């Protein structure tokens, strides 16, 4: 084929909207600027004596003791606790049917005596109810909503649909140790613009060996926080509940996943255009995420993260206290923050509650 004929063919294909191999740009998959974003909403800060609605949007709780510990923990923080009508229900592995689990959340948003809503536990099942929440009600009656793991679906969907700042936070059944509780209180109860920074204690070692930060690409950038559990987030791709990522600081964590599955989820985000225009990336803990039976015939996590995030030319760091770990940050979804990848910090630009 002559050069002139190749050029004619390329022109015809471009006119028809067909991508020419090797010619598509990253911008072709980038999400367009969002024009339907709801006005931002912030919940009232929680105070001692407030009533927390405890819901089970995902897995069932099979034994009585974990529920008792969760209730006692929230009471020890200073809250009154009201259990969702179906929080102890069971349908297969779920805490009741989809309709029941969604109803508990909707009911607590409608109840003026309930100041905030916290998940009892994660697990699986939140994607099944993400389209059953009453988003118009939530926008009319904004209040604290928090959880992590499978709750990634709900905290991102609620923010995306309503503008409400939600919280990737400990669940009721988490360990409420001093570190986790301090960040929760600073963020949600004191209403301070928290700085999320890993502890730096070395213990009796000559260097810090636990909870280290590693910088993949240094830099400082600002944007709203979106993200959570990687596999759950990727499962929302293509739906109306997937977060808007242009200009955002994306935070990710996961647990008990083979590396090849994490690679697949990151490729889903990349192909959906979610990585094209990020301001920065914070990688939390990827606990018990190894190569599986392939041993290191597979890519390592270092290699996977380098492949996906270094080409973005934005600040990226790894090791933040976000994930399935004992001591964890509370991260406000939708809240503007500043990432400093060299220092390994996330600094809120304003309080996440009023």
Options 56, 253, 257, 338, the catalytic residue: 253
Options 149, 153, 180, 235, the catalytic residue: 149
**SS3 annotation, the chain:** CCHHHHHHHHHHHHHCCCCCCCCCCHHHCCCCCCCCCCCCECCCCCCCCCEEEEECCCECCCCHHHHHHHHHHHHHHCCEEEECCCCCCCECCECCCHHHHHHHHHHHHHCCCCCEEEECCCCCCHHHCCCCCCHHHHHHCCCEEEECHHHHHHHHHHHHHHCECEEECCCCCCCCCHHHHHHHHHHHHCCCCCEEECCCCCCCCCCCCCCCCEEEECCEEEEEEEEEEHHHHHHCCCCCCCCCCCCCEEEEEEECCCHHHHHHHHHHHHHCCCCCCCCEEEEEEEECCCCHHHHHHCCCHHHHHHHHHHHHCCCEEECCCCCCCCCCCCEEECCEEEEECCCCEEEECCCCCC
* Strand-pair category, 214-217 with 316-318: antiparallel
Measured distance CA(103)–CA(95) in Å, rounded: 12
Active site residue 324: yes
Options 86, 160, 183, 324, the catalytic residue: 324
Active site residue 253: yes
Active site residue 86: no
Active-site residues, by number, are 149, 253, 324
């Amino acid at each position: 084929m002559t050069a002139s004929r190749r050029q004619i063919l390329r022109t015809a294909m471009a006119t028809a909207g067909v991508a020419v191999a090797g010619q598509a740009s990253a911008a072709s998959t980038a999400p367009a600027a969002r024009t339907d974003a709801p006005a931002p909403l912030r919940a009232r800060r929680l105070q001692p004596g407030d009533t927390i609605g405890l819901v089970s949007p995902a897995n069932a709780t099979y034994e009585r003791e974990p529920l008792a510990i969760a209730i006692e923990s929230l009471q020890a923080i200073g809250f009154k606790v009201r259990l969702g009508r179906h929080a102890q229900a069971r349908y297969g592995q779920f805490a009741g049917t989809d309709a029941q689990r969604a109803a508990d959340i909707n009911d607590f948003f409608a109840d003026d005596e309930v100041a905030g809503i916290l998940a009892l536990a994660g697990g699986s099942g939140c994607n099944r109810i993400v389209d059953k929440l009453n988003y118009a009600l939530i926008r009319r009656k904004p209040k604290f909503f928090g959880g992590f793991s499978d709750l990634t679906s709900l905290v991102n969907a609620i923010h995306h649909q309503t503008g409400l700042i939600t919280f990737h936070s400990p669940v009721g059944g988490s360990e409420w140790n001093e570190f986790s509780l301090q960040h929760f209180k600073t963020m949600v109860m004191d209403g301070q613009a928290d700085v999320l920074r890993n502890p730096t204690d070395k213990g009796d070692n000559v260097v810090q060996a636990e909870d280290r930060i590693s910088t993949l690409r240094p830099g400082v950038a600002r944007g709203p926080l979106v993200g959570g559990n990687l596999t759950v987030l990727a499962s929302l791709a293509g739906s109306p509940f997937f977060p808007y990522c242009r200009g955002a600081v994306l935070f990710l964590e996961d647990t008990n996943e083979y590396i090849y599955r994490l690679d697949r989820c990151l490729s889903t985000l990349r192909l959906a255009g979610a990585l094209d225009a990020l301001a920065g990336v914070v990688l939390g803990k990827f606990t018990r995420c190894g190569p599986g039976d392939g041993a290191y015939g597979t890519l390592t996590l270092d290699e996977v993260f380098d492949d996906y995030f270094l080409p973005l030319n934005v600040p990226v760091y790894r090791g933040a206290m976000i994930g399935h770990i004992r001591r964890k940050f509370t991260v406000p979804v939708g809240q503007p923050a500043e990432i400093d990848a060299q220092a390994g910090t996330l600094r809120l630009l304003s309080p996440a509650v009023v």
